[in-house]
Structure 1
Amino acid sequence: MKWVGMSSCWRGRMACIATSTDCNCMMGKAIEVMLRAALERHFNRIWYQRPQPPLIYRWLSAVYAGLGRSRFRRPLARPPVPVIVVGNLTVGGGGKTPLIMALCRQLSARGHAVAVVSRGYGGRHRGQALSVSAGMDPALCGDEAVMIAESTGLPVWVCRRRSRALQAAVDGGAQVVLSDDGLQHAALPRSFEICLIDGKRGLGNGWLLPAGPLRQPSERLDLVDRVLVKGDGRSDVEALRLYQRVVGVARLDGGVASPLQDWHGQAVDAVCGIANPKAFLDSLRELGMTVRAHVFPDHHPYRRADLANLSGPVITTAKDAVKLRRLDLELSIHVLEVELTLPPALTDEIERHLADWGLAREDEQHD
């Protein structure tokens, strides 16, 4: 009996230690999330609201430029197939992934065999190129890669060395490869570059990291093939305008969605972990919703505890949806659906570029 008692006591102590460890782990993750969110707010204020950043950041920007991280020349190597890189000069999102998906649909509808390559940011995968499919764990390959695969149904490859992802895409039969980000990835050969600029944010205060949001000097725009500005706003460079509109609010569980007008006047919990949450929240307010904002850091790995105290309905972004879906929550969760309209001048320019590579549109091949 004494042994049983000691054993029971030991099990109780171990359970207590395990519970304490779990609590400490959860608290550590919560603190990490708060610190990341605070850092993002701090730098966004400096980059987009203060024309003159603090002296220490300006000094670090000079160091960054001096180390050559901001200098770049387009690779001279010719890629095996046309490679269209979609990126931006600033840190964080600017709508690159929705643009990639719109280009995927446009090019595949015209008969081209399209594949997408990505670094797989936020994923833990290392090593050789990984083929991404719908339903794959975003923690493995990155949320944006899963979103592209689910939205387009096209081949998506991720690898920290994008050149390996490119080779895997070509080996898989791709005639045209789109790179989600990669303007600064000098090892990736490319044939056409698109730089996307947020019309409202622009290039921020114009400083290089960390004093400003620029990964490279604004002169880098002179080297790209096409500059796009998303939305309205001032642009100091020749650019095509790109517009995005809300087309619906879908249910995460796949059920029947409500018409947009039914959301007018509703109070919602808006959950997002994206680089520019303001644009998402503004879209909801423009639809007449009363928004309770729950903003997490970009590429946030959601846990059930993150949404434990929400009453719903919850509205999130397509990028966040691929992660929230895996939590199997009982909440009523909806996804804001947006549609990007490509300027005809852009699609015509890309088709001319592909024609130079000997790739004609399918409808032209039948003429």
Structure 2
Amino acid sequence: MKKKHNWSVLIGAAFLMASSAIGPGFLTQTAVFTEQLGASFAFVILLSIVLDAVAQLNIWRIIAVADKPAQDIANKVFPGTGYFLSFLVFLGGLAFNIGNIAGAGLGLNVLFGISISQGAMISAVIAVGIFIYREAGKAMDAFAKTMGLLKIGLALFIAYVSDPPIAEAAIRSVNPTQFSFSAVLTIVGGTVGGYITFSGAHRLLDARQTGIENLGSVNKGALTAIGLASLMRLLLFIAALGVVSTGVTLNPDNPAASVFQLAAGQFGYKVFGVVIWAAGISSVVGSAYTSISFIKSFHPKILQYNKAITIIFILISCIIFILIGKPVKILLAVGAINGLILPIALGVMLVAAYRSKIIADYKQPLWLTIAGIGVVAIMVWMGYGTMMQMI
């Protein structure tokens, strides 16, 4: 019997993944690398879109066909691997969530003049409210869609007023004059690394939009998510390029805010407040949801108290931020760490695609497998190149 596609859930899953990707770290990374690489960053973005799409299609399809969360699939491939993967994703999600809370707090600080800590606490309460709501799944989908559209609309406005050199960016997207291993690793890691790519896939699991018969819609959901995140990345890049091409230097303490403020003055600064709050709060929701989804199948009590544990995860992230302070450098570092997690996660999923005890009689398209192996190899190479640069 063919399952009925729930397009609201599919689009919600796509926005959840995209919103998880478009967090404060995403804004910071884009501004920093645009200033470093100029128009040549367009090539890095184009390369990352291809890598993102291949990784996400493989992972979403295999999870949908197996009808199991990633950690259970990993444990069936190699016993214990699921626990290791969950540990990496959970810690990465917690580290990112500290940055997400900080970004949301900074947004309210910009908008209303309250302290960043107060803004973080208010934002954490709002995120908790989404999970307390009885129809948490629907609320999460609606919230992700609203925040995603808001971020894209405001980024489009800033990209327009910054008057960027579009022609040069188009040329450099295929003929770069500069390249950075760490930029690719961080950008891919910040888009589909760590917990991010699994956020939408696990949302489809919870909504029972799985199985071979639903692969067409799973493909659309996966590519829509990458398209949304990539559109936001391109808009932010174009906006930042318009600013840095005039010769100004971005504020290293808050490069993303510099882009908005230099492009549109005080109004642009307020727009940045809205964008980074929307980015922070939506990523808090996505990170918390997905991080907990990686441990809830390990014990019945975790599944029973899933909602309460998710809320505690958000509150702990908030408390750690208030105690530690601004994790600006951590946002860049965690993006790179998530990029290192990706080849492990994707590699395990590719092996699972050829285990009949996991995927039954499903046949993974050969081109997708080959492309997936290519992404694993490239990400390992980029990771090695990045570490060599650091030594």
TM bin, normalised by shorter chain, reads under 0.3
Higher RCO, Cα 8 Å, sep 6+: 2
Structure number with larger C-alpha Rg: 1
- TM (normalized to structure 2)? 0.25
Hey, which of these two has a bigger chunk of helix by percent? 2
